[in-house]
Amino acid sequence: MTAKNMIPLSTVDWYGRAATVVFLMGCPYRCPYCQNHALLEMGQLSSEPADIEEIKSEIEKNSLFISAVVFTGGESFHQLGALLHLAEFTHKQGLLVGVETNGYYTDRIRQMIDAHLVDLICMDVKAPLTRDAYLRICGIDAAKHVSDSLGLSGLCRESKIDFEARTTVFPDFIGSPQEIRLIAESIREIAGDVRYIIQQGIPEHAWKDVPERAYTRDELISLAKIARQFLSDVRIRTKESGEECV
């Protein structure tokens, strides 16, 4: 068991690149707004997941028209062996490796960095880095894990690995001005002046009930301006306009 499915060609998952996206299964979090909830546990799948050899053959086939593979989930590091194996295979095809992570498995992330098997790390900071906030948003106290993982950004810089932090926001749930201020301040303190993306959460794709409305582009711009007090490269990502620098 490795992955539920793949997107052969995406131009939105790695800004400026054409990439294949591989969805790896399993995640220790239970965010109510999860859009890939079928990947959280095997029992929820309606079809057989792809195995490693299928994924490799898809990557090889796509290598003619992509320059990268992005691993996401679920949580990419939940299946470390599969991730490292596929990343190594991807590099051998002459392609770059991007990984989206919720920051829970700090030691595994460090292992991948040390093995030089990753070129871009996109790390979710889903809430202010406190026990209560993480319990409320993700159903697990992961604040210390995420804080430690953000601390790996220095190692990424030394290893020339691109690093960005991200928060997905929903009105009246996560992403108030005060929460964005706390998150951006923590990112600056722990990770330094890294790129920060505020993503528009889409309620209709959510696993469980979250407030029905999505933030508007203008609201996201206002939130980004708050984050800009701490970080110099802040962007928003919306369904209608994609990624924009603020």
- Site for ligand SF4, rule CB under 6 A: 27, 29-31, 34, 36, 40, 73-75, 102, 138
CB nearer to ligand SF4: pick between 73 and 98? 73
CB nearer to ligand SF4: pick between 36 and 149? 36
Helix, strand or coil, per DSSP, at residue 145: helix
CB nearer to ligand SF4: pick between 21 and 95? 21
Shortest distance (Å) from residue 34 CB to ligand SF4: 3
CB nearer to ligand SF4: pick between 73 and 128? 73
CB nearer to ligand SF4: pick between 58 and 75? 75
Distance CA 107, CA 122 (A): 16
Q: Give CA angle at 73 (89, 42), nearest 5°.
A: 105
How far, in Å, are 50, 78, 86, 151 from residue 75 at the CA level? 16, 5, 15, 19
Distance CA 231, CA 228 (A): 5
Q: Read out DSSP for 101-136? A: E-S--HHHHHHHHHTT--SEEEEE--S-SSHHHHHH
Shortest distance (Å) from residue 83 CB to ligand SF4: 14
DSSP 8-state symbol, 170: B
| Close Cβ partners of 27 (under 8 Å, ≥ 6 residues apart) | 34, 39, 40, 73, 74, 75, 78, 102
Shortest distance (Å) from residue 84 CB to ligand SF4: 19
Shortest distance (Å) from residue 54 CB to ligand SF4: 21
